[in-house]
C-alpha cells in the first residue's frame, strides 16, 4: 500500500480517545455476576457454569482492555490509561508495564524473525531441528487442545518481569507485582470450591482463548530479519485478520481479531477497527489477509506443532530472504 492510500484511509477514521463506559460497565457486570453466582455454586450446576463463563470472558476482555491501554487508546490522559492498564493487567495475569514494552517492540519489529518478541517460540523450533521428547509432548498437548503454549508464554513474561525486578525502581517493581499480590490474596481468602471448580476452569478457558485467538495472527506471514522492518503502511504483509461471529468479536474479543487493521493503525480505538476493515479490504483487495479463526484453529490443531509454527520456506538452519518491497525500511 502506498503512503497516499494509507493516509487517505487514516483520515476517514476516528482516533479520538473516549472513555469506554459501556465496556467498563460490562466488565463490572461480569465481575459482580461471577461473584454472586459463585455463592450459589454448591447448590446449582447452572450457577457454576454461568460463573465460569463470566469469569473467563472477563479475563479475555481484560486482556483486550489492557492492550488498548498499552496503545494509549482508552483515554486522552496518559495517567488514566496507565491506571486502567494496571487494573486490567492484574485481571488478566500480566504485568502491564513489562507487557507494554514487549508489545510495542512487537509492533516496531512486526514480521522480523530475529527481533519480533512474538517470534520467540518460532525461533526456538527453527534453531533446534529436533526437541526430542519435549517436542513430542508439546505436539501431543497442542493436538489435544491443552493451552500449554499460552501457559509457557505467560511464564516467559513473568520470568522477564522478575529479571527487571532487580533493576527497576521500587514503585515500578511493586506495580509489576500487582497481579501476583491480588490473586494470591483473593485465592487465599476464597473458598476452596471457588479455586478448584470456578477459577481454575475459567483460567484454562482463558488460556485456550489466548492461544486460539493470537496464533493465527502472525504465523505463515512474510518475514524480515536483521535490522529490516516493515513500516506501518506495509504491515498488512505481517498480520492476518480472523473472522468470528459478530457477538463473539464485539463482546468477548473487543475487536482484537481485526489484526491487519490494528497493525496499520496501532492507536486506533477498538470501536473503529470494523470500519477500518471495510476500508482496507477495498484498498488492499487480494493483498488483504484474512481467514475464519475457528476454521484455522480446527485445521492446525490436527497438525504437528512444528509444521504449524514453521513456514515451509523456513527449514531448520535456513532463513529464506523475502523480496524487497517499496517503502520497506532497511
**Distances, alpha carbon 270 to alpha carbons 229, 288, 330, in Å:** 25, 19, 31
The pLDDT of 2-29, averaged and rounded, is 92
pLDDT of 39 strictly over 80: no
- Computed from CA positions of residues 6, 12, 17, 18, in that sequence, does the dihedral angle turn out positive or negative? negative
The pLDDT of 38-66, averaged and rounded, is 85
Give me the phi and psi of 242, to 5 degrees please. Answer: -115, 140
The grid cell for 323 is 523480496
pLDDT of 33 strictly over 70: yes
The pLDDT of 40-67, averaged and rounded, is 87
The pLDDT of 297-307, averaged and rounded, is 91
Q: How confident is the model at residue 191 (pLDDT cuts 50, 70, 90)?
A: confident
Q: How confident is the model at residue 116 (pLDDT cuts 50, 70, 90)?
A: very high
Phi-psi region of 226 (alpha: psi -120 to 50; beta: other; left: phi over 0): left
- Residue 319, pLDDT score: 41
Please answer whether residues 150 and 207 qualify as being in contact, where contact means their C-beta atoms are separated by less than 8 angstroms. Answer: yes
> SS3 helix, strand, coil % of the chain, rounded to 5?
65, 5, 30
The pLDDT of 158-185, averaged and rounded, is 77
The pLDDT of 175-191, averaged and rounded, is 89
The pLDDT of 10-23, averaged and rounded, is 92
pLDDT in tens, 76-114: 899 999 999 999 999 999 999 888 988 999 999 999 999
**Distances, alpha carbon 152 to alpha carbons 138, 159, 173, 176, in Å:** 11, 10, 22, 19
Q: How far is it, in rounded angstroms, from Cα 302 to Cα 145? A: 10
- Residue ranges of the domains in the chain? 3-309
Q: How confident is the model at residue 188 (pLDDT cuts 50, 70, 90)?
A: very high
**Among candidate residues 192, 76, 146, the one with its CA nearest the CA of residue 301:** 146
Amino acid at each position: 500500500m502506498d503512503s497516499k492510500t494509507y493516509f487517505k484511509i487514516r483520515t476517514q477514521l476516528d482516533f479520538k480517545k473516549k472513555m469506554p463506559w459501556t465496556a467498563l460497565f460490562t466488565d463490572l457486570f461480569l465481575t459482580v455476576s461471577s461473584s454472586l453466582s459463585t455463592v450459589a455454586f454448591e447448590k446449582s450446576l447452572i450457577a457454576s457454569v454461568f460463573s465460569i463463563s463470566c469469569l473467563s470472558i472477563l479475563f479475555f476482555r481484560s486482556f483486550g482492555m489492557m492492550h488498548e491501554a498499552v496503545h494509549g487508546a482508552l483515554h486522552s490522559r496518559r495517567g488514566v490509561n496507565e491506571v486502567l492498564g494496571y487494573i486490567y493487567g492484574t485481571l488478566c495475569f500480566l504485568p502491564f508495564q513489562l507487557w507494554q514494552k514487549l508489545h510495542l517492540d512487537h509492533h516496531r519489529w512486526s514480521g522480523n524473525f530475529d527481533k519480533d518478541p512474538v517470534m520467540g517460540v518460532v525461533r526456538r523450533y527453527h534453531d533446534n531441528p529436533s526437541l526430542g521428547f519435549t517436542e513430542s509432548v508439546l505436539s501431543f498437548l497442542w493436538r489435544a487442545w491443552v493451552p500449554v503454549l499460552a501457559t509457557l508464554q505467560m511464564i516467559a513474561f513473568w520470568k522477564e518481569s522478575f529479571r527487571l525486578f532487580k533493576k527497576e525502581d521500587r514503585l515500578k517493581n511493586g506495580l509489576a507485582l500487582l497481579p501476583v499480590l491480588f490473586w494470591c490474596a483473593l485465592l487465599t481468602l476464597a473458598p476452596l470450591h471457588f479455586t478448584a471448580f470456578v477459577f481454575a476452569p475459567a483460567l484454562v478457558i482463558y488460556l485456550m482463548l489466548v492461544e486460539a485467538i493470537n496464533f493465527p495472527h502472525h504465523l505463515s506471514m512474510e518475514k524480515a530479519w536483521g535490522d529490516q522492518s516493515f513500516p506501518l503502511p506495509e504491515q498488512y504483509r505481517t498480520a492476518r485478520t480472523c473472522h468470528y461471529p459478530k457477538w463473539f468479536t464485539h463482546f468477548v474479543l473487543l475487536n482484537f481479531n481485526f489484526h491487519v487493521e490494528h497493525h496499520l493503525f496501532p492507536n486506533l480505538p477498538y470501536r473503529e477497527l470494523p470500519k477500518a476493515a471495510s476500508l482496507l479490504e477495498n484498498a488492499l483487495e487480494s493483498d488483504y489477509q484474512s481467514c475464519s479463526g475457528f476454521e484455522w484453529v480446527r485445521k492446525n490443531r490436527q497438525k504437528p506443532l512444528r509444521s504449524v509454527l514453521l513456514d515451509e520456506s523456513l527449514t531448520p538452519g535456513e532463513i529464506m530472504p523475502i523480496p524487497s518491497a517499496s517503502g520497506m525500511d532497511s
